[in-house]
Amino acid sequence: MSALLRADGLGKRFGGLRAVKQVSFELAAGEITGILGPNGAGKTTLFNLLTGFMAPDEGRVEFAGKVLTGLAPQRVVNLGLARTFQLCRPFVGMSVLENVMVGCLCPRVRADGGGAARAMELLRMVGLERKAQTPAQLLPYGDQRRLEIARALATRPRLLLLDEPFAGLGKAEIDPLSDLIRRLHAQEGLTLLIIEHKLREFMKLVTRVIAMDFGEVIAEGDPEGIVQDPRVIRAYIGGTEDAHGAA
């Protein structure tokens, strides 16, 4: 299988701090890959570099054979690479359905038509169809995550980047969300890249893990191997994050 996404020597500096340095990896189509790392490891910055929300100081990103580096975020989305935010940012003052419809209006899918009907279908897929008319900002946290995912799906991505989808969720919300992600992967053939540090659920979900610390990739491999990697254990025990459920 050829690579769907290729990051090559990505680097980003904030003043004196090198938030991301020399990050290279490849994603094959159809994979669910996880990015693991303690807080401040540069995971979200990496997402911002991949999706055009920030321009890298060095390195390049290739997606489906096209160079993404330097493209504006909306251009990246229209090439089929969508993302969610760690902090949900629904459109305030608009209903859940309208929130998803905005995604249906991007150039990539607009010509397909369908508008409200397609948005409704996506809400059904993520299990929000009964809250379609609710103002988005009134949704409980877990539902806002689903809304984020539905809005991203509306742009019909080939690769979906999820930024800490489980953060702040309780056990009762985590399992259905994991199921949803698995279903998207199995039924829609979506390739996924997920940032997380809730280890237990995460490790059951992903097929491959890229571990980061201090802005660098420190290990890469399957979930079973990665939790035994001494560098990863050191990053987690030495870092701010407690290693609950790491083993």
Q: From the CB of 95, what's the least distance to other proteins, in Å?
A: 9
Question: Among all chains, which residue has been given the structure tokens 């701090």?
Answer: 17
Q: Which is nearer to other proteins, 144 or 191 (CB)?
A: 144
Q: Is 108 in the site for other proteins (CB under 8 A)?
A: yes
Q: Which amino acid is at 131?
A: K
Q: From the CB of 190, what's the least distance to other proteins, in Å?
A: 16
Q: Is 82 in the site for other proteins (CB under 8 A)?
A: yes
Q: Interface residues for other proteins in 3-32 (CB under 8 A)?
A: none
Q: Which is nearer to other proteins, 62 or 98 (CB)?
A: 98
Q: Is 205 in the site for other proteins (CB under 8 A)?
A: no
Query: Could you give the CA distance from residue 151 to residue 67 in angstroms, rounded to a whole number?
Result: 25
Which long-range contacts (C-beta less than 8 Å, at least 24 apart) are formed by 141-144?
141/88, 141/168, 141/169, 141/173, 142/169, 142/170, 142/173, 142/177, 144/88, 144/90
Q: Which amino acid is at 205?
A: L
Q: Is 45 in the site for other proteins (CB under 8 A)?
A: no
Query: Could you give the CA distance from residue 199 to residue 228 in angstroms, rounded to a whole number?
Result: 13
Q: Which is nearer to other proteins, 101 or 227 (CB)?
A: 101
Tell me the window of 37-45, 105-113, 210-218, 221-229 that interacts with other proteins (CB under 8 A): 105-113
